[in-house]
Structure 1
Amino acid sequence: MNVEADALRYDDVNQTSVFTGRVVVTKGSIVIRGAKVTVKQDPEGYHSGVVTSEPGKPAFFRQKRDGVDEFMEGEAETIEYDGRADRVKFIGRAEMRRLRGGSIADETSGAVITYNNATDQFSVDGAPGGATPANPGGRVRATLAPRGSAAAPAAPASAPATQLRPSTTMGGERR
């Protein structure tokens, strides 16, 4: 894990590091940016962390998905990352995007978004009774693109087109 920040406070007994001031964390394909990042390491070496945003500027998280040309990225006031569970939680004015080949495929927003990278599942919760500037209605918003792999394969160009015969009946009567 590589970290750039204006300051670091480290607690060896509790295995906790607190980075402040324009923090940028990189770990493998993960990139995290925020005003403050608190990182804790458990006895097995897994990292968990909490990222806090700067006033008026959201905290940011981005991770490449294994085996595919996709990235998951998101922004929120607070981001919680759990390396053991491979889960990230965006809290407060949360937005998350799936990028395929550099283009936005899916986009979601709400009060809280929880994404599990191991299972490729996510949940989005709205702000009951509370609207935010990013989401005036306080409801969940999502734009989900169809999966390219789920589409039926196109017929080969050399295959002859199937011709439809005109029907002389309206129902399913046999001829």
Structure 2
Amino acid sequence: MKSPLLNCLVAAVWVCLAPTAGAEKADRDKPMNVEADALRYDDLKQVSVFSGNVVLTKGTILIRGARLEVRQDPQGYQFGVVTGESGKRAFFRQKREGLDEFIEGEGERIDYDGRADVVKFINQAQLRRYQGAALNDEFNAGVIVYNNLTDVFTLDGAPLAGAPGSVGQPGAPAGRVRAMLTPKKDSAAPVPPATNLRATPALGGASR
């Protein structure tokens, strides 16, 4: 079910990775489209709840999950929560400004705080950076928090094995975080000057 109603309610909810972080700037002005099996809207509380195979697109932003809840506070700031199906994770993807790069993230729950401009991936959290189709960097943790204003993210370890409520976090050892970082190529590296080659009449010595 497509609903233009969400365009007015949550025009900026999922503008993650702000221009400071190199996100696609044009995404801010793009319309938001949502498909889901059902929608419940509470005008008094300014809350919209989409459920069942939720797919959200806004410019280069793509979000998938089982349930999306969006609310707005009296000051106009918007907050969103996406959750995945049982045993699965919610998904987020966005292009970076002026680059052939994408940011992808997953978590059993994804929170966005419009006031602080922070996105949080919770439980079985993973953040990936792609250059073209090639995976450059990957981060795994129990919780990953990305601050769009400062371009800083933090990782908290997965629950320790046997701890209350521990469900185990694939990709990161219990109580630890895990990161894979690809060295950056220096595109400004100097190019060696071309060498002019001259034909030699004979090998092994100078011509006579």
Pairwise same-fold verdict (TM > 0.5): yes
- CA 1:43 to 1:65, structure 2 compared with 1: closer, same or farther past 3 Å? farther
Give 1:109-124 correspondences, 5 Å limit.
109-124=140-155
Cα deviation for residue 105 of structure 1 reads 0.9
Whether 1:145 aligns to 2:176 is no
Equivalent position of 1:155 in the other structure: 190
Segments of 4+ in structure 1 off by > 6 A?
none
CA distance in 2, matches of 1:109, 1:88: 15
Structure with the largest fraction of helix:
2
Amino acid at match of 2:173: G
Higher RCO (Cα < 8 Å, 6 or more apart): 2
Whether 1:81 aligns to 2:81 is no
Asked if the contact 2:140–2:172 (Cα under 8 Å) also holds between the matched residues in 1, the reply is no
Structure with the largest fraction of strand:
1
2:71 pairs, out of 40, 64, 67, with 40
- CA 1:141 to 1:48, structure 2 compared with 1: closer, same or farther past 3 Å? same
Whether 1:22 aligns to 2:53 is yes
**Percent identity of equivalent pairs:** 58
Equivalent position of 1:98 in the other structure: 129
Give 1:60-79 correspondences, 5 Å limit.
60-79=91-110
Cα deviation for residue 10 of structure 1 reads 0.2
Please provide the CA RMSD for this pair: 2.1
CA distance in 2, matches of 1:21, 1:65: 29
- CA 1:66 to 1:124, structure 2 compared with 1: closer, same or farther past 3 Å? same
Whether 1:55 aligns to 2:86 is yes
Asked if the contact 1:65–1:117 (Cα under 8 Å) also holds between the matched residues in 2, the reply is no
CA distance in 1, matches of 2:136, 2:87: 26
CA distance in 2, matches of 1:47, 1:159: 57
Q: Which runs of 5+ in 2 are unaligned?
A: 1-31, 196-208
Equivalent position of 2:138 in the other structure: 107
Cα deviation for residue 159 of structure 1 reads 5.7
1:76-100: CA deviations, max 9, x gaps?
1111022343321000011110112
Amino acid at match of 2:184: R
The alignment's TM-score, normalised by the length of structure 1, stands at: 0.80
The alignment's TM-score, normalised by the length of structure 2, stands at: 0.68
Amino acid at match of 1:145: T
Amino acid at match of 2:143: V
Cα deviation for residue 114 of structure 1 reads 0.7
